[in-house]
Amino acid sequence: MDKSEHYILAGWLIDGSGGPIQKKVLLKLVDGTIADISPYNGSDCPSPSRTTDLSHCCLLPPLIDSHAHLCMSGTLHLKSRQEQLTAEYEDLKGLISEHLSYHLSHGVLAVRDGGDRHCSVIRYHRELDEDDALPVVVKSPGKAWYREGRYGGLIGRAAGASTSLDRLIAEDTAEADHIKVINSGVNSLKTFGHQTAPQFSQRELTDTVAYAKNQGLKVMVHANGILPVQSAIEAGCDSIEHGYFMGQENLERLAAKQIFWVPTLYAMKGCLDGVEFGMKDADPDVVARNLEHQLKQLAYARECGVSRFAARHDGWGRRGDSGVHVAGAGERGAGFGRPSIRRLLVRRGPVPGLFLLH
């Protein structure tokens, strides 16, 4: 037996392939990389000195939070929420670090950020000393892009009515990992099923996606409602963010074109919790119906084969909320290809090659 070999005995294993949970599995690691996975029947027991017994644990690959805003907190504290609306980078970098620590502690080793108006997340990673960096992969668009006069100022930069969106993005100097476009408003917490018009024309979206693909960048589109989602799909975007009230035909289009959907259920669940804790300007019945409708869309998406990813949407709540149950293992649609997943799988940690939940 080579001295570089190590073994892990797992009670259960979720390998991320979508297959069934495996029971009593032996993982062989060579130089910290998984070399073999095989059933364990107890007859061929490796040396105890080279075996970590996790027969009481369920092992799984690192998780990916497919849509977060690392600059924002899910706190219900009104003053804190107001302060973060105008906060500058120096006020935000501590919050970003805190949120990444929370992700790491919950087994989330990759985060797909949804943008902030100051590009603070990108700046944070550019200025961070390598020795201080947490082992969490972060992909960020820098800022999001929205139509002047519409929703989006909190996380993005406005495009004027006479401005070409693709040219504006091309002139931007931020070191974006992907592009975020806002193509609708937010969901109403007072009027059930309320929908807004698309923010950008079909041609603008199509030209923007074409530019992004030419640059090797993926495009995530914030879109709620039938028309905003439909125009984003027809433009050839890589993912739909939120997608509330998009309708069954759009779900079928997503499945046919293999476009990914991030339904952000936890964001609406957070609003429902907020109402219970005194959140104003929201009708609890409407919020509950919004969530119920999205769950029905999610069920239909599964039926017709839409690829889905889970996400928190905000940063992290300050009431001790756990995010493990809303983070999902993703692939290319989340901006992380299979090589990235493979690198995360073999990243050394407390237990070589795997992140554990038990």
Model pLDDT for residues 127-182, shown as the tens digit of each residue: 988 878 888 999 999 999 999 999 999 899 999 988 899 999 999 877 899 999 99
| 135 located within any domain | yes
Domain range for residue 40? 5-60+342-357
Better-predicted residue by pLDDT, 227 or 85: 227
Query: Same domain for 26 and 88?
Result: no
User: Is residue 299 predicted with pLDDT exceeding 60?
Assistant: yes
pTM of structure: 0.82
| 333 located within any domain | no
Query: Same domain for 200 and 288?
Result: yes
Query: Same domain for 30 and 132?
Result: no
| 230 located within any domain | yes
CATH of the domain at 183: 3.20.20.140
Query: Same domain for 295 and 347?
Result: no
pLDDT in tens, 318-329: 333 333 223 343
Query: Same domain for 30 and 156?
Result: no
Query: Same domain for 210 and 287?
Result: yes
CATH of the domain at 46: 2.30.40.10
Buried b (16+ CB within 10 A) or exposed e, 235-262: bbbbbbbbbbbbbeebbbbbbeeebbbb
- What's the pLDDT score for residue 311? 62
Query: Same domain for 122 and 25?
Result: no
User: Is residue 26 predicted with pLDDT exceeding 70?
Assistant: yes
- What's the pLDDT score for residue 320? 33
| 337 located within any domain | no
pLDDT in tens, 81-128: 778 778 899 989 999 999 999 999 988 999 999 999 999 999 998 898
245 near 226, Cβ under 8 Å? yes
Query: Same domain for 321 and 349?
Result: no
| 35 located within any domain | yes
Q: At 273, is the pLDDT very low, low, confident or very high (cuts 50, 70, 90)? A: confident
pLDDT in tens, 228-254: 999 999 999 999 999 999 999 999 999
Query: Same domain for 349 and 322?
Result: no
Which ranges of the chain would DSSP assign to H, the alpha helix?
A: 78-86, 89-105, 120-127, 165-171, 202-214, 226-235, 248-257, 265-276, 284-304, 338-345
- What's the pLDDT score for residue 84? 78
- What's the pLDDT score for residue 76? 67
Query: Same domain for 148 and 50?
Result: no
Q: Name every residue whose Cβ is closer than 8 Å to that of residue 267 and which is 6 or more positions away in sequence.
A: 242, 312, 313, 314
Q: At 345, is the pLDDT very low, low, confident or very high (cuts 50, 70, 90)? A: very low
Query: Same domain for 76 and 160?
Result: yes
Question: What domain count does the chain have?
Answer: 2
Better-predicted residue by pLDDT, 258 or 86: 258
Q: What is the mean pLDDT of residues 212-225?
A: 96
Would you call 128 helix, strand, or coil by DSSP? Answer: coil
Q: At 68, is the pLDDT very low, low, confident or very high (cuts 50, 70, 90)? A: very high
Q: At 277, is the pLDDT very low, low, confident or very high (cuts 50, 70, 90)? A: low
| 140 located within any domain | yes
| 127 located within any domain | yes
| 336 located within any domain | no
Query: Same domain for 350 and 298?
Result: no
